[in-house]
Structure 1
Amino acid sequence: MANSYAQPILTTADLSASLRTVERLLAIADLQGLEIDFEARVRSEQVLSALLDLIPDAEWWAEEGRDGSSEDSDDPAEHLPIRLRGWAMPPETVEPFLDAVGDSPASVRWDINGWPQAPEVGLGIGGTRGAFVTLCLHARDLDLSQPSPDHTVFVHVKQIEADRAPWLAAQVGLTVIGDLKMAPH
C-alpha cells in the first residue's frame, strides 16, 4: 500500500450525510478494482464477535502496550482492547461493518483506481497511488486516536497533487476543513 495524503472535507454527527458524501465522491472516481478496507478499535466482546462474523480472517493486535495478535494465533477476546483490520473487502460489506462497530472508533477506506482529470487546477487523471476515500466513524483522525461523537470524511491524493483535495471537495459542494497530512499505512 502506497502512502497517500489525506485531507478532511466533512465532519458531521449525521452518518447518512457522511455516506452520501462518500457516494458522491465515488461517483466521480474510477472504481475499477474497488476494494474496501476496515479498521476498528474494539473494546467489547459483543463488537468483536460481530466483526469476526463479518471478517473471520481479520488481522488484529492488542493495544495499550499489551501482547497478543492474530499473527500469534491468540484469542482476541482474551486481549481486549484490540485494533482489528479487514483488507480487500467487497463493497456490500460496508453496511454490515457499520452495524457491527456500533459506537467504536472505526474507519472504512474505499481503495479506488483513480481520480478524474482536474483541469481547473492543472491535473490530469490521478492514478491508483494515493486515490482513496476514508470515512472515520466516532473519530476525528485516520489513526482513530481522537474519539469523537461524529464522523469525518477524508479524501486522499498524491502529495505532489495536493491541489486535487480541495478540487475534489468542491466537486461535492464542500471545502477542505483541515490540513493535508500523510495518511498512516
Structure 2
Amino acid sequence: MIIEFSTLCDREGRLCPRCHHACSNLPGTSSGPCYPTGPSSTPGIRSVAIGGSYVPTDCYLDAWARTEADLERLTAAFPEARLKSFGKESGEFPVSVTVSLRTFGQVADALRIGVGICPLYVLWHNMTWPCVPELGLEQEHKYAELQIACNSHDIFCETPTPEHTVFLHSRHGDDERVAWLASKVGAQIAGPSELGW
C-alpha cells in the first residue's frame, strides 16, 4: 500500500513514554496497550501495533549507498551503522548501511534523517499476524514482517519515487489477511502480491 510520510507524534508533539509514539497512552487518555492513534500516525507504524507482537530488537533500517556522497552522508547521519559492500571488489558500491532500531521514536528519527539522503527501508522481523476467525485464519509467525520503503515502490528500494510504500509480508496466497490488516489501519492495497524474500 502506498502511504504518505508523516510525523509520528500527535498534534501537540507528544509521544507515549512506553512506545515513543502518539498512542493510546498519552497523558489524559486510557492506560492500556500501546496502539498508535491519531491522524499523524502512518499506516506502517499502526500495522506494527495491529500485528499483535513483535521483537523490538528485530527492527532495522537498511539503506543502499550507491555513491561516495551517499555513503558519506549516511555514515555521518548514522555513525553506529554496520557497512557491507556488495560490489565486485571489497569496498566497491553498492554498500549496505544497516542501523538497528528498538523504538518507534528511533524509527521516526531514522526515517526523518535518512529519507533526505537516499531510498531506504525499515523492516520489522519476528512479528505475529493475529488470528482472523471470520476469515478462518490462525495466527501467523513464520511469514509476518512489515516493511516501510521510503521513496520507493519496491522492497529493495532500487527505483526512486516521490512516494513511500508499506509492504505487509505474509504467506504466499494469504491476500485476505493482508487486506484485513490494511483495513484495520485505514489503508487499501495498492497493487498485486509480489514475490519477496
TM-score tier, shorter chain, comes to 0.7 to 0.9
Could you list the runs of 5+ residues in structure 2 that have no partner in the other structure? 8-38
In structure 2, the residue matched to 1:58 is 83
Q: 3-state SS of the aligned residue for 2:183?
A: helix
Could you list the runs of 5+ residues in structure 1 that have no partner in the other structure? 1-8, 69-73
- Count of residue correspondences: 160
- The one-letter amino acid of 1:139's match is S
Which of 137, 158, 166 is residue 123 of structure 1 equivalent to?
137
Q: After TM superposition, give the deviation of residue 88 of structure 1 in Å.
A: 5.3
- The one-letter amino acid of 1:46's match is E
**Bigger mean CA deviation after superposition, 102-111 or 91-100:** 91-100
TM-score, normalised by the number of residues in structure 2? 0.69
Q: After TM superposition, give the deviation of residue 117 of structure 1 in Å.
A: 1.1
In structure 2, the residue matched to 1:5 is none
Q: Distance in 2 between matches of 1:143 and 1:61?
A: 14
More strand by share: 1
RMSD: 2.5
CA offsets, 1:30-69, max 9 Å, x none? 33423113221213243232255031x333323xxx422x
On the 8 A contact 1:36/1:88 being kept in 2, the answer is yes
CA offsets, 1:154-175, max 9 Å, x none? 1111114332111111111222
In structure 2, the residue matched to 1:169 is 182
Q: Distance in 1 between matches of 2:74 and 2:106?
A: 16
TM-score, normalised by the number of residues in structure 1? 0.73
Q: 3-state SS of the aligned residue for 2:180?
A: helix
Which of 62, 71, 78 is residue 39 of structure 1 equivalent to?
62
Q: Distance in 1 between matches of 2:40 and 2:64?
A: 20
Q: Which has the higher contact order (CA 8 A, sep 6+)?
A: 1
More helix by share: 1
CA offsets, 1:82-139, max 9 Å, x none? 2314275423542343214524010001124301111232101111x12111110111
Structure 2 CA distance for partners of 1:83 and 1:51, relative to 1, 3 Å: farther
Q: Distance in 1 between matches of 2:171 and 2:160?
A: 27
In structure 1, the residue matched to 2:11 is none
Give the 5 Å matches for 1:1-185.
9-12=1-4, 14-16=5-7, 20-34=42-56, 35-42=58-65, 43=67, 44=69, 45-50=71-76, 52-55=78-81, 57-62=82-87, 66-68=88-90, 74=91, 79=92, 81-86=93-98, 89-91=101-103, 93-98=106-111, 99-127=113-141, 129-184=142-197
In structure 1, the residue matched to 2:33 is none
On the 8 A contact 2:59/2:100 being kept in 1, the answer is yes
